[in-house]
Structure formats: C-alpha cells, structure tokens
Structure 1
Amino acid sequence: MCSGTAGLPPAERAELLTVLAADTDPLVAERAAQALVTVPVEHFLAALARSDAAPELFRYCADQLGEQTAVADALARNPATPAETLCRVARALSPAAVEALLEDLDRLTQHPAVIVALRRHPGLTVSQRELLEELQREAMSETELAEAVRAAETDQAARQTLLQRLARMTVIERVQLALKGNREERLALIRDPCKVVQRAVLQSPKLSDAEVESYAAMANVSEDVLRQIARNRNFMKNYGVVRNLLNNAKTPLDISLHLLPRLNPFDLRSLTTNKNIPETLRSMALKLHRQRSEARLRS
C-alpha cells in the first residue's frame, strides 16, 4: 500500500500514510515515511479539507510542510486543526488566512495561544496588530464599565450584578460573553471600549434584528459599530436598520449619503426636518425629496 498500489484516492492515501508513519512498528513507520516523501503537496491539501482528518495528518503537515503558505492556510481553514498545531504554522499564513482567523473571534478567543502566535506574524497590518493587542488587554476601567452597564440595565440589582461580572473579565472573556451571552449583556458590551468586543456582539448567533435596529439608533455607540453595521449585508436588508442609521447623528456622513436613496417617501420627508442630523445630509434629503415630488408630478 505504501507504494501506491492500494488504489485509494490520493487524499485518503496521503492521510493514511501519515497514520502509518506514526505506527509503533518501526518497519511499517519507516516504509510509510519513505512513501510520504513522494506524495505531492496537493494531495495533502485535499486531505486537510476534511473535517474528520486524522490527528497524524495535522501533525505531519505542520512538522514537514508547515513552512509552505498553502499548507499553513489549509491547516488554518480546518476548524478541527488543534490550536498547538496552528500556532506552529502561524508565521507562514497568508494575509487572507490571517484576516479569516481574526474574523473567527469564537475560535480565536477559545485558544489564546493562537493570539500570541499571530502577533509574531511578520505581515500584520496596523489594524490587525491593534486587534490582537486589544484581545490581550485586561479588564475595562471602572468608568467605562459603569457607563456600559448603565445603558444595559435599569434595575439597580441587575446592574450591580452585571457590573461585578464584567469587572472580573479580560477582553477574551468579554468576547466570549458577547458571542454567547444574553440580550442585556450584549447591550452592555456593544459599548465596550475594545473594538474586538463590539465586533463580537455583532457576530453573535443570538443577535436579533430588533437589537441591530436599536444599536443603529444609539448615539452612545462608537462610530466603528455603526460602520460595521453598515458593512453587513444581512443587517442592511432590514429597512429599520437603514432608517435608524440615517436618523442617527453619530452615523458617518459617507454612510448616510450612500443610504439616503433607500428611504421611502414618508421617512425621507421626516428626515428633511430632523435637526439632529448634519446639515449636509438634511440638505441632500430635501433635494432628493423635491426631485421625487417633481418626478411624480410629471408622470
């Protein structure tokens, strides 16, 4: 079989050879190791795409092929890759693979060692480095903590309980809470000073449309939160989110002007009298309202 006569598909053969190379029988292990040298890297890449790949495959690829970017990326793409293996190949990851890992906050925060390994990557952008540094920050300051909790809880006892819990949490722990916590916890954490925690709130599988609408209307969230909402296609399918962003004075003007044509006639007319939004946006809303009115009269 080691010579390739077993008739297995190439990816399966590559995986099986890595298992045999770790066999306790020295003869079997030696023959498999010799055969592995002749296996094209493409076969390993195909094998690494399997979610149920053998642990021996991950170890072999990291040990023998981990300096190759394609192999490192394949290991990073597989959620079954052990964290310790991922750490060993982190420096070889492509920029796209690094970005994909940084987007997967749940995986990243469950394995802090990966964060440390990624910080040694030679090709990090400034924003990527800042995100990784944020993840290793400690708890919020007392002032930041109190402001965030006050927005989430009106009940004094519940507010104090949440305050005590968040005070003991690191950024990594708050990211996990943002992803898996309840509505009140997300409402507090959307105002967390760390952008990575804010991002985790917006990535939470428990996040409802109504919550996103409320965030889009909040004047006390960061500009970055509003930009993240506006960049999310699923969020922007919700007309309520669009309307709230346009009526929020905190929304950056480049986003507001881009969204303006999506307003219905009633909401557009209301926007023309909104004194809280920038004058530029109000003027453009009035101009668009007049254009639409004239077009209706001509038709």
Structure 2
Amino acid sequence: MTAIDVSALGPGAQRVLSAEAPPPMKMLAARGIVPGAAPPDLLAILVVLSEGDSDVARTAQGTLRALPKPLLEGALSGELQAGVLFELAAIFATDTEVLPRLLRMKALDSPTLLRLCQSASEASGEIIATNEALILRYPEAIEVLYMNPRVRMSTSDRLIDLAVRNGIELEFPAFKLAAQAIKNQLIPEPTEEPTFDDELYKTASQLSHELSLAEEEDVCDEDEEGKLELKKKFVPLFAQIQDMTVTQKIRSAMLGNSTMRMILVRDTNRLVAEAVARSPRLTENEVVRITASRSVSDDVLRIIANSREHTRSYQVKLNLVCNPRTPFSFASRLVPHIRSNDLRAIGRSKNVPGAVSRLAVQQLSRQK
C-alpha cells in the first residue's frame, strides 16, 4: 500500500496525526470526529490511524467499514490519495455505485486496481473490465479478473481479446492457450445480464461440484489399451462440457475442480488438455491418475514430465516411465530414478515400449 502523504493534508489533519496529539484527540478522530477537516482529509486520517492493533486502530477500522454516507459522498467528490483508495478497495469492491467513482480517481494505482479485481463480484468485474483504458494501463489486472471465479465467462473472453488486439502478452498459465482459442471465436458485447454461455459455464461449474470425485476416483473406467467408458453419473456434466466453447473449457481447466479437470484432460482439443496440465489447481492425486492413463495425449504427459513440482512424486515418475504414451526422451530421463524392484517389473512388462523396457534392464545391470 502507498503510504499516506501527511504533509499534503490540511493543518487540522496534520495536528491529529502528529506525535504530540493527545490520545483522546486521536480516539475522537478514529470515530470520524475532526472539526474542520475536509472529507478527503478525514478518510486519510482514518486510514493512518487504522494501522496497528491498538484501541484507536480498531476504532478507526470500524469507522472505515461503516462510513456515513455524507462523509463518503464528500470524499468521493474530491481526489483521494492512493493509500486511501487502497483501503477503500477492500470495502467497496462489490459496491456498483461507489466502484465507478473509485476507478475514475487520478491516484488509482496498480495495487489498488488488483485488489478491486481480486474481490470483484460478477457485476463489479464487468464494470472494471469495460474500463478498457484502465485495463490497458495496468494489464496485470487481466490475469486477476480471469482467475476470479465470480467474474463472468464473457467478461474474461473480452479481456483476453482486448490483450490480443493490443499486442499484450501475459505470463499466467492460461493466457497463451486462451489467446490462441479466442481468435476463432465471436466476442460478445458487454451486457447487463449474463449471456447464455455465461449461464452454461456457471451451470457446468455448479454441477461439477455436486459430482465431486473421491480422492482416487476417476470419471472413466479405462482398460489396459486406454479404451474409456464414462461413468453414468458424469454423463450430464460431460454433455454440458461438450456444448462449451474452447475458451470456456480452458478457463474451467484453470478454475474448476478435480471432476472438471479429469474430463477436460481427455478433451480432443489440444489447447484444452494442455490447460489442465498447466492448471495451478492441479493436485498430486490428479497428476498420478493422469500419468497412469493411456487415454491422455503425449502433450499432456510432456508438460507434466517437464514439471519439477509434479515429478517430485515417485509415483508420477513411475507412471510416466510405464505409460507408452510418454515420449521416449522424457521416459528415458526418468528411468535412473526408478527403484530396482520396479525396474525388474518394467523389464519384464509387455505393456511398456520395448525401448523403455531395454533401458530399464540396462539401468538395473548398472545398479548391481
């Protein structure tokens, strides 16, 4: 948070915030009583006094959370310091009347905007996203809005499109995938009410949470050849996912739960399957199930094999070596990390590629 510039405040405010100010004066100020102080100065006083864990700080925090409307109106009619805006962002991020006025403040900076994006509701996310000039000034807000599950799907699509049209490249995992997919989609105009696709995205997300997977459960039954049969209880969710756009599926892979990801990782669209492998919410149990599956693409297995975080798990390393869909260059790199008893099993197995089997035998002989 940007510190409050006390020297920019009026004499009354400076007196209250000085080291010599008596405690009773500070407590009155914490309650919002500073005779002669302009509303913007009074808010700055409250923000400064709210720091810490004293009685004065707690009182000031309570006053900030319940600002009288005349005081708030008066403060918003002037210009507020960045530090004041940062604190107001935590209180009014979902207030659709106050939010537009905060966004118009000259001192609004990146930390405050990101705080607003992080706490945004569906409606306030739409308000922020339609302020394209502000988004282009602070494009890091695109990632925060995209990763906020309360923000509409159509809003996130427009944000990705805005970045692509303006040549902005962002580093978060979904961006490059969504940017490729968005080029082949129609971009919806901003609307007050959610679109059909917004409702589809939300409904599928809700249904996936009703169908939560047990710790080691999968959505499919799979035989040794990788042939799949979707379990009956997941059929309605699968049908909804099939109606989704590619960008909806990519965002679902990023923000959805295990049930959603275990369906999407087998999607025929490469971008969607890769989004699952790059999801920050992907758990170790999911990675174990994915790497054991012969129905996932080699691209997914390559991404996982390249991840230091995922390959810390011995079971993941073993699954990658045993999975015939793992590219040989990645499987061979993991063979030296496999235990002797597993190397013997791999050397005798007919379900792994011959090159991997021979490499396992060679590695075993080196260990003797």
**Is the shorter-chain TM-score for this pair beyond 0.5, marking a shared fold?**
yes
1:268 Cα offset (Å): 2.5
Aligned length: 269
Q: Distance in 1 between matches of 2:271 and 2:49?
A: 37
Alignment partner of 1:219 out of 291, 294, 305 = 294
Maintained 8 Å contact 1:274/1:282: yes
1:85 and 2:162 equivalent?
A: no
Q: How does 1:140-289 map to 2 (within 5 A)?
A: 152-153=228-229, 164-171=239-246, 174=249, 183=259, 187-195=262-270, 197-198=272-273, 199-200=275-276, 209=285, 211-230=286-305, 235-253=310-328, 255-273=330-348, 276-277=352-353, 279=355, 285-289=360-364
Q: Secondary structure at the match of 1:9?
A: helix
Q: Secondary structure at the match of 1:153?
A: strand
1:8 and 2:46 equivalent?
A: yes
Maintained 8 Å contact 1:212/1:235: yes
The verdict on how the C-alpha distance between 1:117 and 1:175 changes in structure 2, with shifts beyond 3 A counting, is closer
- List gaps (5 residues or longer) in structure 1: 140-147, 294-299
1:107 Cα offset (Å): 5.0
1:60 and 2:101 equivalent?
A: yes
Q: Secondary structure at the match of 2:162?
A: coil
Alignment partner of 1:44 out of 51, 74, 85 = 85
Q: Secondary structure at the match of 2:77?
A: helix
Maintained 8 Å contact 1:105/1:200: no
Cα deviation 1:241-294 (Å, max 9, x = unaligned): 221111123223454344334322111333345564373x5565445433322x
1:165 Cα offset (Å): 4.2
Q: Distance in 2 between matches of 1:105 and 1:257?
A: 39
Q: Distance in 2 between matches of 1:79 and 1:263?
A: 47
1:116 Cα offset (Å): 0.8
Residue 77 of structure 2 is matched in structure 1 by: 33
Q: Secondary structure at the match of 2:266?
A: coil
The verdict on how the C-alpha distance between 1:16 and 1:249 changes in structure 2, with shifts beyond 3 A counting, is same
The verdict on how the C-alpha distance between 1:65 and 1:73 changes in structure 2, with shifts beyond 3 A counting, is farther
1:215 Cα offset (Å): 1.8
The verdict on how the C-alpha distance between 1:129 and 1:173 changes in structure 2, with shifts beyond 3 A counting, is closer
Q: Distance in 1 between matches of 2:361 and 2:284?
A: 33
Maintained 8 Å contact 1:119/1:129: no
1:93 Cα offset (Å): 3.2
1:99 Cα offset (Å): 4.9
Residue 178 of structure 2 is matched in structure 1 by: 131
Q: TM-score, normalised by structure 2?
A: 0.53
Cα deviation 1:155-183 (Å, max 9, x = unaligned): 7x779766654443334555677665785
Maintained 8 Å contact 1:249/1:278: no
Q: Distance in 2 between matches of 1:101 and 1:231?
A: 28
Residue 75 of structure 1 is matched in structure 2 by: 116
Maintained 8 Å contact 2:47/2:87: no
Q: Secondary structure at the match of 1:250?
A: coil
Cα deviation 1:167-209 (Å, max 9, x = unaligned): 43334555677665785x6544321134554335885979782
- List gaps (5 residues or longer) in structure 2: 1-36, 51-59, 187-196, 198-219
Larger Rg: 2
Q: Distance in 1 between matches of 2:331 and 2:49?
A: 50
Residue 143 of structure 1 is matched in structure 2 by: none
The verdict on how the C-alpha distance between 1:287 and 1:75 changes in structure 2, with shifts beyond 3 A counting, is farther
Maintained 8 Å contact 1:51/1:78: no
* Paired-residue identity, %: 19
The verdict on how the C-alpha distance between 1:75 and 1:30 changes in structure 2, with shifts beyond 3 A counting, is closer
Q: Distance in 2 between matches of 1:9 and 1:94?
A: 27
Counterpart amino acid of 2:321? L
Q: TM-score, normalised by structure 1?
A: 0.62
Q: Quick check: 193-202 or 239-248, which moved more?
A: 193-202
